[in-house]
């Protein structure tokens, strides 16, 4: 466009020049000026046309070039725009997919939260049920359990207080000596033995040495079953045609002896048969106890006595005190008391009755804590004996002040019977006392069915109830018993505590 404008301007300039030339030439010559002016105009027109055409060509070229550049730039921008749209579409698709995934995860999270909420509620309900079931099984509520814990702490505090009391007692030597003499005198009145071999060992004769193998059984199962059932220690050594039964409890040892003799005579020795024969032997021992009590009352001429008292008297047949048979001791003392009462002119039957019953507490002192005199008086009161008889029983060792002549006669007759030459021997009193205390300690624990002190007190076998005690609890019981034995007893060497948990299954073939 600028070229065209330049051409137009040039054309106008040429026209002006021609006008001047004509005016000048007019002066020189009109004709000559017109001719030259015409030539110039013609030249100017030709140049103007040529310039115009060139300008138009250049303008078209420039327009084409600009159009081409614009189209190229437009295509490039469109391509970039298309790429951006593709990327945006891809990103949008990714966002849609991610949004869907998040929605699914959110739904899953909500579902999981609901499940967790339900599980928490279920666990809370189960915990409540478990708490109720635990209270039912334990037989106590949470408050009761707390109360029991408080009681245990109180018991521990009492034990510590007792240690302090003992320390104070040691400072008061005179009073401590008095108490020690009293405690020792009470302990010495309990079950005693004549000699170790005579009081704790029984020899059983066998028909032949082959019977020893049958008694032992395959892998020792028969001898283990025998010892577990009877609570005695069966010793099989090189002694020909004989075995030895060892136990500090004479009733238990006698029952084991009868059981073994029955098994040897029958010839069938097996665990089930051992238990059967042991039950029969216990029944025979019970019968012998009753017969011993009846002999005592008939021997002393006392017939109107409660059957349970007769049975307690019979148990004294298997008890010894300082080596003296207690049943024979009370019968002998009753005769002495009758003679003294007759000499004094007092009630002979009352004196004999109180003296005959004065040691019945020794039949149960290993089962009940306390002095045998006080325990015997309580038994007599429970079985409706007269107050005078009960007083004679409880006062025969001076633990209760004597208020009647019969009580003094009972104490005197007891002392005379025990003091006569050859009546008593004091060997092994502490030994038997320790064995009994071992069994008492083990029996105090919950879940314990039977307790047997064996091997001269070197081993304690504890039979636990398999339905109430598991294997782990059995180990805990053995450990707790050992700890309590260490705290309460004094003994040389060591004592082995064995907790036995046995489960039996049986069925019948029809």
Handedness of CA 373, 292, 200, 447 (dihedral sign): negative
Per-residue model confidence (pLDDT) at position 403:
87
Helix (H, G, I), strand (E, B) or coil at 465: coil
d(CA 18, CA 382): 173
Q: Exposure of 44 by Cβ count < 10 A (0-12 exposed, 13-18 middle, 19+ buried)? A: middle
User: What is the C-alpha separation between 325 and 459, in angstroms, rounded?
Assistant: 27
Q: Are residues 128 and 248 in the same domain?
A: no
pLDDT, tens digit, for every residue of 310-364? 888 888 888 777 667 888 888 888 888 888 888 888 888 888 998 888 888 888 7
The DSSP bridge partners found for residue 325 are 320
Q: At 428, list the tokens.
A: 């092994």
pLDDT in tens, 137-192: 766 666 777 777 787 787 777 667 666 766 776 666 566 566 545 543 443 343 23
Q: How far apart are the first and last CA of the chain?
A: 132
What's 492's domain CATH number? 3.30.300.20
Both 446 and 414 in a single domain? no
pLDDT (0 to 100) of residue 186: 42
> Is 241 part of any domain?
yes
* CB atoms near residue 79 (< 10 Å): 10
Relative to beta strand 459-464, strand 496-500 is parallel
Say if residue 401 is in the same domain as residue 462.
no
**Residue 352 contacts by C-beta under 8 Å, 6 or more apart in sequence?**
300, 301, 302, 334, 335, 337, 338, 341
Is residue 157 assigned to a domain?
no
Looking at the fold, whether 326 and 438 belong to one and the same domain comes out as: no
Rounded CA-CA distance 51/130 in Å is 114
* Shared domain check, 127 and 204: no
Residue at which a domain ends, from 295, 327, 358: 295
* Cross-strand pairs, 204: 243
The closest of 358, 476, 466 to 411, measured between CA atoms, is: 358
* Cα–Cα nearest to 197, from 258, 240, 248, 259: 248
Tokens linked to 327:
């049943």
Q: Is residue 309 within 8 Å of residue 363, measured between CB atoms?
A: no
On whether both 17 and 129 belong to a single domain, the answer is yes
**Residue 153 confidence (pLDDT):** 81
Domain check: are 111 and 58 in the same one? Answer: yes
Mean pLDDT by 10 residues, the chain (510 residues): 64 65 57 71 80 82 86 87 86 83 83 85 81 69 73 73 66 60 42 39 79 82 85 80 79 84 82 86 86 87 85 84 79 87 85 88 68 86 88 84 87 77 50 80 87 78 86 84 84 78 73
**Predicted TM-score (pTM) of this structure:** 0.45
73: Cβ contacts below 8 Å, ≥ 6 apart: none
Q: What is the pLDDT of residue 158?
A: 64
CATH number at residue 323: 1.10.3210.10
Which of residues 402, 426, 450 is at a domain's end? 426
- Which of 391, 426, 461 is at the close of a domain? 426
Q: Is residue 61 part of a domain?
A: yes
372: buried, middle or exposed (CB in 10 Å: 19+, 13-18, 0-12)?
buried
Question: So what's the pLDDT on residue 166?
Answer: 60
With respect to residue 187, please indicate whether it lies within any of the assigned structural domains: no
Looking at the structure of the chain, the number of domains it has is 4
| Domain region containing 8 | 2-135
**Torsion, Cα of 49, 54, 56, 57 (10° steps):** 140
Closest listed residue to residue 351, CA positions, set 389, 324, 320, 378: 389
Q: Is residue 361 within a helix (H) or strand (E), and if so which, with residue range? A: none
What is the phi/psi pair of residue 463, to 5°?
Answer: -90, 115
């Amino acid at each position: 466009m600028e070229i065209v404008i330049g051409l137009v301007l040039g054309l106008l300039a040429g026209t002006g020049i021609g006008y001047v030339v004509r005016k000048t030439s007019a002066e020189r010559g009109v004709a000559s000026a017109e001719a030259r002016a015409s030539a110039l105009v013609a030249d100017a027109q030709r140049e103007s046309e040529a310039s115009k055409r060139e300008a138009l060509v250049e303008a078209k070229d420039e327009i084409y070039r600009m159009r081409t550049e614009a189209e190229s730039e437009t295509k490039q921008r469109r391509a970039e725009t298309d790429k951006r749209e593709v990327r945006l579409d891809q990103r949008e698709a990714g966002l849609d997919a991610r949004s869907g995934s998040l929605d699914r995860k959110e739904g899953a999270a909500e579902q999981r939260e609901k499940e967790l909420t339900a599980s928490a509620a279920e666990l809370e309900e189960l915990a409540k049920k478990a708490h109720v079931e635990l209270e039912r099984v334990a037989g106590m509520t949470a408050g009761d359990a707390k109360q029991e814990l408080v009681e245990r702490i109180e018991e521990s505090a009492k034990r510590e207080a007792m240690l302090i009391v003992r320390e104070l007692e040691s400072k008061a030597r005179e009073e401590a000596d008095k108490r020690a003499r009293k405690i020792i005198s009470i302990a010495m009145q309990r079950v005693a033995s004549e000699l170790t071999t005579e009081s704790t060992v029984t020899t059983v004769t066998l028909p032949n040495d082959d019977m020893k193998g049958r008694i032992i059984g395959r892998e020792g199962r028969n001898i283990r079953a025998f010892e577990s059932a009877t609570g005695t220690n069966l010793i099989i050594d090189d002694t020909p045609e004989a075995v030895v039964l060892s136990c500090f409890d004479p009733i238990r040892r006698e029952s084991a002896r009868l059981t073994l003799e029955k098994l040897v005579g029958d010839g069938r020795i097996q665990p089930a048969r051992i238990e059967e024969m042991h039950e029969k032997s216990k029944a025979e021992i019970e019968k012998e106890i009753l017969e011993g009590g009846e002999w005592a009352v008939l021997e002393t001429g006392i017939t109107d006595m409660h059957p349970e008292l007769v049975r307690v008297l019979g148990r004294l047949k298997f008890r010894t005190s300082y080596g003296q048979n207690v049943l024979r001791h009370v019968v002998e003392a009753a005769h002495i008391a009758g003679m003294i009462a007759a000499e004094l002119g007092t009630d002979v039957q009352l004196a004999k009755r109180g003296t005959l019953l004065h040691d019945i507490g020794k039949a149960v002192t290993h089962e009940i804590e306390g002095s045998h005199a006080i325990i015997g008086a309580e038994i007599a009161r429970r079985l409706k004996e007269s107050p005078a008889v009960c007083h004679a029983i409880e006062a025969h060792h001076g633990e209760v002040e004597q208020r009647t002549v019969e009580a003094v006669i009972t104490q005197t007759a007891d002392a005379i019977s025990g003091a006569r030459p050859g009546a008593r021997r004091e060997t092994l009193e502490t030994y038997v006392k320790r064995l009994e205390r071992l069994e008492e300690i083990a029996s105090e624990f919950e879940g314990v069915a039977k307790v047997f002190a064996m091997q001269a007190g070197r081993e304690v076998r504890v039979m636990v109830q398999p339905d109430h005690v598991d294997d782990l609890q059995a180990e805990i019981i053995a450990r707790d018993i050992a700890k309590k034995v260490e705290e309460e007893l004094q003994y040389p060497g060591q004592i082995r505590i064995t907790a036995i948990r046995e489960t039996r299954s049986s069925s019948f073939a029809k």
